Amino acid sequence: MVEASPLFFIPDWPVPANVRAAISLRLGGSSSGAFTNNNMALHVGDDQQNVIANRQALTLALNLSEDPHWLNQVHGTNISYAPDRQPDVAADGSFSDQSGFVCTVMTADCLPILLCNYAGNQVAAVHAGWRGLANGIVAEAVSRFTTDSPIMAYLGPAIGPDTFEVGADVYHHFISRVKGLRYKQQIENAFVPNPRTPGRYFANLYTLGRAALSRSGVTEVYGRDECTFSNPERFYSYRRDSITGRNASLIWLTSG
């Protein structure tokens, strides 16, 4: 990981030279209180002018030719086509095969997944909470890639397995959708029973994300498994704070 600015960091992965990616930090922005400092979300109760200022500062710092493609995220599996320029479309991922259009997702514990093919002509950003992962959002995003070029992935900051406690309903939601012994074992490995509370599990979003990627044929996966819950200076966390902001994960193609 290369720290590029107080506002964001650049993911460390071997993407083609014309592919850019960044993940915002909660440092250096205009927001205050529960949203201190660099909140990217308009829907969480922050002052809208502060959010707009934060977004504009990020756009300027990244030297973007287009505003990021902001989504209305609903924990579904819809993938928006960024070049359509649909503002706040209900989707939990975006895809682009044209330069300048910035695929963007916001997170505060859910797993952001950035995708890029080796040819450097198709990219996607995915908001992967447990519902999206269980219901196939990764496969939906990967299906948008239409070339034979292999795909690589970067897993951004998400809540870690020591702090993400879920009920048996979440565990069974995943297990009920498993087909194939190998994938079932991957899912089993992502859930550790809480020894102090029967019927509760600690879930590993990173393991679930890698399992979904592997099932979709994506085996080259990068990222640091950095926990949002445990890093309040850098990342927002809904589980930790309830009322809080959102970090943004962005990926886009350039013309050269």
Nearest CA to 190 among 218, 158, 222?
Answer: 158
pLDDT digits (tens, 9 = 90+) for 158-172: 999 999 999 999 999
Name the residue type at position 256: G
Nearest CA to 111 among 137, 88, 89?
Answer: 137
Residues 6+ apart with CB under 8 A from 63: none
- What distance in Å separates the CA atoms of residue 251 and residue 94, rounded to the nearest whole number? 10
Q: What is the pTM of this model?
A: 0.96
pLDDT digits (tens, 9 = 90+) for 86-140: 989 999 999 999 999 999 999 999 999 999 999 999 999 999 999 999 999 999 9
Angle between helices 181-189 and 205-215 (to 10 degrees): 160
Query: In the prediction, which pLDDT does 108 show?
Result: 99
Can you tell me the mean pLDDT for 181-192?
90
Give the CA distances from residue 115 to residues 43, 52, 185, in Å, rounded to whole numbers and listed in that order.
26, 26, 24
Contact 172, 38 (CB under 8 A): no
pLDDT band at 4 (very low <50, low <70, confident <90, very high): low
- What distance in Å separates the CA atoms of residue 148 and residue 125, rounded to the nearest whole number? 19
Preceding peptide of 37 cis, ω within 30°: yes
DSSP string, 38-92: T---SSSSS-HHHHHHHHHHHHHHTT-SS--B--B--SS---EEGGG--TT-B-S
Q: Output Rg (C-alpha) for the chain, integer angstroms.
A: 17
- For Cα atoms 213, 131, 86, give the angle at the middle one, nearest 5 degrees: 85
Strands, sheet with 2-3, edge to edge from the N-terminal-most edge strand: 2-3, 8-10, 19-24, 247-253, 103-107
Query: In the prediction, which pLDDT does 177 show?
Result: 85
Considering only residues 21 and 1, tell me which one the structure prediction assigns the higher pLDDT: 21
DSSP reduced 3-state for 37: coil
At the fourth CATH level, the homologous superfamily of domain 2-158+219-253 is CNF1/YfiH-like putative cysteine hydrolases (3.60.140.10)
pLDDT digits (tens, 9 = 90+) for 19-76: 999 999 999 999 999 999 999 999 999 999 999 999 999 999 999 999 999 999 999 9
- What distance in Å separates the CA atoms of residue 183 and residue 61, rounded to the nearest whole number? 41
